[in-house]
Amino acid sequence: MISEKSFKINPKDKLESKKRLVIISDTHITRSGGAFNLHAFNVGMEKINKIKDASLYLHLGDITQMGTLLEYEYALEQFKKFEPLSKSPKMIFLIGNHDAMNVGYLLFEEMVGTRHYTYEDDDIYIYGIDSTKPDLPGGIIHHSIIDSVRKKLEKPKRENKFKVVCFHHQLIPIPNTGKERSAIDDSGDMLKMLLEAKADLVLNGHRHISNLYTVSSSEKDLFIFNAGTFCCNKTRYRELFTYSIIDIDGNNLNFKVIPVLDSNSQREILRKVNYYIPLQIDKKQKPIARFIQISNSLVSERFESNFNNFDKALEKINKIDEVDLVVHAGNLTKNSFKEEFQIAKDKLNQLKHPYLVVPGYTDSKPLAWEYWKHYFGEFDPLYENDKIYFQGMNSTTLDSKEGFIGRKKLNKFTEKVLSLSHQKIFGVCCFHNLIPTPLSVWRTELIDSGDVLSQFARSQIDLVLNSSPSISFNIKIENTIFSNGGNLEGKYFEEVFIEIEIYKKGLVVLKEHNLRTGLIKVIGNYYISILI
Ligand SMILES: [Fe+2]
Ligand SMILES: [Fe+2]
């Protein structure tokens, strides 16, 4: 039976004593050029020196602007101003992409410290990782490091410690940063490992703006905090120079983002680390809504006569009762040929359930728009019934792998969510994925993914469905389930589709149907607050 108490548990508090982490990032120190704001640095240093009871100071990288010898020397000279009142006056530095420029990674090791660091006491374990690629803005962690971090986090002696992992580049897209770029290539593998190894907090810099996400697996919350810049003139939107204080007291976290030049306008966010236990559902209980998620059917006229993965999937889906909506999240055709759209439409029409289709990259070659209009009508299709409001969004741009949603479409949809979310379950679908997927290179092809992800997660949208380039992967961000999956392209990965059930009180169960093995397995189990 489902009882409300079974979803959330708060285990014994982890920390015996309180911890206070002071975070600064992206100082971009240089003697020349306009990046470094010495005034902000001096004011900020004076302020962070006065913070009481700091356990540790962390710098999240981009200490220098160009990673040159003169800059490292000048930066070390500037950091002599760091004279904290607190008893543990340590500042740990992480290497950023700017520090690794011009063979600066060698100078970092010689003059600052190791590129990977550890801080550990009886209560807390902090591990810092070099995520840079020399001379390139983007980042990578590497699978061997991901494996070794997993082992470190999973050590039994650390089970009850508060676990923090730091690296310079962002793990997931964050809002108000313009074009999403220079994330780490293996974000999906890293994110999966951090969730499985039950890390508590991730600290990133690099984007020069602060942000906090609560990301949850089926078992536990993980907080991803992005620090703003301390004193670099390259700021974003209305946030200028900031430092942050994170207070950890048991499972309670208090994040403060404090502007260097105007401490009165600080922002404060309180969070608690929640644990969840797998949900048992009474077999007789029926879901209030059921969705099917598929993508990458890649219908080709050459295989028209063969019974392929798409036919197999449609046949299986037709055997599932009471499906509210089948969502095809893009890459319906292989080449955007007219005949392929015709075949795809004929196949989809065999479904006995309602369906909704959005275009993917392979459906966006020249002339595709004409065919799409002819066979499917809307580029941003809407499906609505008495309990569901589901919006499809075309995120593709003609003949390009890059995608885009745009503020106008996004705002129009979130306004609708605001007005109707107390009456209906809200879902949205677009081809480009907003969260990284394991076993694939995270290319962040949706250029406004930072804003789209934030707006989806921070409004009352229950379900976001995207295509997957590899395996199925789902997480909860804030109160929204993000599911990448349903990949029917049986090339490198097994062909699967996803069934999503939403039960009363907001229980969401995601199941993967494997077409190759015939097996069905639960791949996600969450609790979201729904208003209906
Ligand atoms: Fe930076
Ligand atoms: Fe950076």
Residue-wise pLDDT for 463-512, tens only, equals 999 999 999 999 999 999 999 999 999 888 999 999 999 998 899 999 99
Q: Among all ligands shown, which has an atom nearest to the Cα of 132?
A: 2
The pLDDT, as a whole number, for residue 2 is: 35
Place of tokens 């993967």: 512
Q: Among all ligands shown, which has an atom nearest to the Cα of 232?
A: 1
Q: Which two tokens stand for residue 475?
A: 């997480």
* Alpha carbon of 176 to ligand 1 centroid (Å): 15
Query: Which residues touch 61 (CB under 8 Å, ≥6 apart)?
Result: 25, 26, 93, 94, 95, 96, 97, 98, 99, 132, 167, 168, 205, 206
Residue pair 494/426 in contact (Cβ under 8 Å)? The answer is no
* Alpha carbon of 206 to ligand 1 centroid (Å): 4
* Alpha carbon of 63 to ligand 2 centroid (Å): 9
3 state DSSP class of 192: helix
Place of tokens 């590497």: 142
Q: Among all ligands shown, which has an atom nearest to the Cα of 229?
A: 1
Alpha-carbon separation of residue 407 from 410, 411, 450, 452 (angstroms): 5, 6, 12, 9
* Alpha carbon of 226 to ligand 2 centroid (Å): 12
Q: Among all ligands shown, which has an atom nearest to the Cα of 27?
A: 1
* Alpha carbon of 101 to ligand 1 centroid (Å): 12
Burial profile 134-154: b = 16 or more Cβ within 10 angstroms, e = fewer: eeeebbbbbeebbeebbebbe
3 state DSSP class of 207: coil
Alpha helix (H) residue ranges in 353-475: 368-376, 407-420, 449-457
Hey, CA dihedral for 201, 206, 212, 215, is it positive or negative?
Answer: negative
* Alpha carbon of 373 to ligand 2 centroid (Å): 43
The pLDDT, as a whole number, for residue 443 is: 83
The pLDDT, as a whole number, for residue 422 is: 79
Task: With CA atoms as reference, report the closest residue to 248 among 7, 95, 23, 477.
Answer: 23
**Using alpha carbons only, what angle is made at residue 71 by residues 70 and 76, rounded to the nearest 5 degrees?**
105
* Alpha carbon of 80 to ligand 1 centroid (Å): 21
The pLDDT, as a whole number, for residue 183 is: 87
* Alpha carbon of 487 to ligand 2 centroid (Å): 33
The pLDDT, as a whole number, for residue 343 is: 94
Q: Among all ligands shown, which has an atom nearest to the Cα of 183?
A: 2
Q: State which residues have CB under 5 angstroms from ligand 1, the bound ion.
A: 26, 62
Which parts of 295-424 are beta strand (E)? 325-328, 355-357, 382-384, 388-392, 396-397, 400-403
* Alpha carbon of 248 to ligand 1 centroid (Å): 26
Q: Among all ligands shown, which has an atom nearest to the Cα of 204?
A: 2
* Alpha carbon of 169 to ligand 2 centroid (Å): 7
The pLDDT, as a whole number, for residue 305 is: 61
Q: Is the full-model pTM beyond 0.75?
A: yes
* Alpha carbon of 229 to ligand 2 centroid (Å): 10
β 132-133/507-514 pair status: unpaired
Which residues in the chain land under pLDDT 50? Answer: 1-7
